[in-house]
Structure formats: structure tokens, C-alpha cells
Structure 1
């Protein structure tokens, strides 16, 4: 796991890129407060609508990332593998790109293809509405829309222990 890239003031900016390996276990941190996930209505790189509300009723892995952030780039393939494992189980994976334009994100996706939603938070308004202190930061949202777990820094999202915590949030079959 790598530490998150830092955030300066109200805008998410890269101040340094410290990347190092560690032997810390893959964990999710329970949220200490009862927080409803702020809704968003954004567009993907091809202009397609991306709304959080469209995924209500299922667990959601909601990641905030940027192409300039090495740990963000490094965890994207594991997010794709996680998506491939849980999509048929009714669990959504969404990765909100923070502050970059469609062309920049599309270039990255040409090198690292994913087939889960990538909303573009062009003005960083959405990331500022979440308790994000650095990138990457990921939240797990329960089916009722509450933030239940967070993860600051890079994770291997296809790790069975992480996915089992998300699966435990499912309602019904």
C-alpha cells in the first residue's frame, strides 16, 4: 500500500509523489460518523452521464483518483479486476477522476482500459464534498447510500478480504 498523494487547501493538487511499498495488510477503515454519500451528476470521458444515484440500492466502491498520482495509476488494474469479480453480484465500482479533462483521462484509459464508470470531476466540486485528504481515497457506500468504509492510499482492490467486507453489505440474494 502506498500513502495517498496530498491535498492542498480546498483543491486537490500534487505537492509530492512519495511512493513506497509497505507490508501493511489490506484494510478498510470503518467511518466514525454516519455520513450520507453526497450525490453527483457528472459526465464520463465520452460525455456519458454518470450519476451516483443510478447505483443506489447496491454496495458501491467509490474511488477518487487522478492520472498524475502514481498510487492512483498503480491501483487502477486491481480496481478493474475487482469490478470483474463483483459486477455480477450487484456491486458497483466507480472511479471519479479529480480535476482532469476528458482528453487526459482518455489517454490514460487507452493504456489502462477499464469498463466501470469514470466520472470527471472537472472543477473538483465533488471531491470537496467528501472527506478526502489525498488521492487515491476510496469509500465503500452501503445500499442505503451511507459511507461505511474508507481507504486512503493504494490498495489491491481484488484482494478477497477487501471484497468480502464489501459483499457483506449486500441486501438480499
Structure 2
């Protein structure tokens, strides 16, 4: 019984600290852009001193599409105010990867879109459920992460982006 409580306490502590995650950088993995060119994950998230939003999504994930469309409405303003860059990584498997490019064009997303067909980056970042959104420093340091989406989550994300853009630490 005591082991059970220790396990639960450890799980709660790691779960809470897992939300901020400022202790690690993005792992090295390869993804493909919509033109089929292979790009390293580290190169993909470089953004100088400005923050980066890294969103894992899939064409079949309705909450993912809803989140990315909600951000689309305010993304230009976010970029002007903070310099933020949004990188959306599709986890569609090789059978569905051909659907990603026309899907993105249909949504009229202006984000950088990549495909993680083999789930290398997804596994390296411990992404189990989508949408899974990370906030990174411009150098790829993981500052915050969140799984799932409910309307209004983009407002919380924007507040965090503002803090990072101002050089403040995330609360």
C-alpha cells in the first residue's frame, strides 16, 4: 500500500512539472516539409529570440483542426506582436500523408507544416494524444506543453507567448 502512495505522489509531481518542462530541448529527429524535403527538428523550430509554438496534429483529429483554425484567426496579430512562429507537425501515417498537403491548402493555414510519417519526433517528444501543443524558446527549449483542446485554450497559449516574447519566465 505504501508503494502505491509513493507511486501516486511521484506521478502527480512528474505530471505537474511535465506541464512546464523547461528542463529539455527539442530532440533531434527528421521530418518532411510539404514539398517532401527532409528537415531536422532542431532546424525546424529555430526562430531567433522569438517563441515557437509546436503543434502535433492529424487530418482526422477534429480538435486539432479546430485549434489550428482558432489560431489562424489571430496568428498574423500574434506574429506582429511577438514574432512567434507556429510549426504544425502532422502525425498522419504514410498511407494518409498524401492527404496532408491538400488538406492544409483547403484550410488556408499559413503555418510551417511538416509531416512526421514514421512518428520519430512524436515518440522522441513523448506525444501520445493529440492535439499536443508545445511552447518553445526560439532556440528549441521546451517551456510548456498541453494536451487536448477546448475553445479558449488559444487565449491561455497567447498569454504564455507574450510572457516568453517579453523575456519573462512562464508561471
Q: TM-score, normalised by structure 2?
A: 0.71
| Aligned residue in 2 for 1:80 | 72
Say which one has the larger Rg: 2
- RMSD, aligned CA: 2.5
| Aligned residue in 2 for 1:35 | 24
Judged with a 3 Å threshold, the aligned counterparts in structure 2 of structure 1 residues 35 and 157 are, in CA distance, closer, same or farther, namely farther
Please report how far the alpha carbon of residue 74 of structure 1 lies from its aligned counterpart in structure 2 after TM superposition.
Answer: 1.7
Please report how far the alpha carbon of residue 47 of structure 1 lies from its aligned counterpart in structure 2 after TM superposition.
Answer: 3.0
Higher strand share: 1
Higher helix share: 2
Query: Is the 8 Å Cα contact of residues 26 and 142 (structure 2) preserved in structure 1?
Result: yes
Please report how far the alpha carbon of residue 90 of structure 1 lies from its aligned counterpart in structure 2 after TM superposition.
Answer: 1.3
**Number of residue pairs the alignment of both structures matches:** 144
3-state SS, counterpart of residue 47 of structure 1: coil
Contiguous gaps of at least 5 residues in structure 1: 1-28
Runs of 4+ aligned residues of structure 1 deviating over 6 Å after TM superposition are none
1:1-173 residue pairs with structure 2 within 5 A? 30-32=19-21, 34-47=23-36, 50=39, 51-88=43-80, 89-100=82-93, 101-156=96-151, 159-170=154-165
Of the structure 1 ranges 134-143 and 85-94, higher mean CA displacement relative to structure 2 is found in: 85-94
Counterparts of 1:171 and 1:40, CA distance in 2: 29
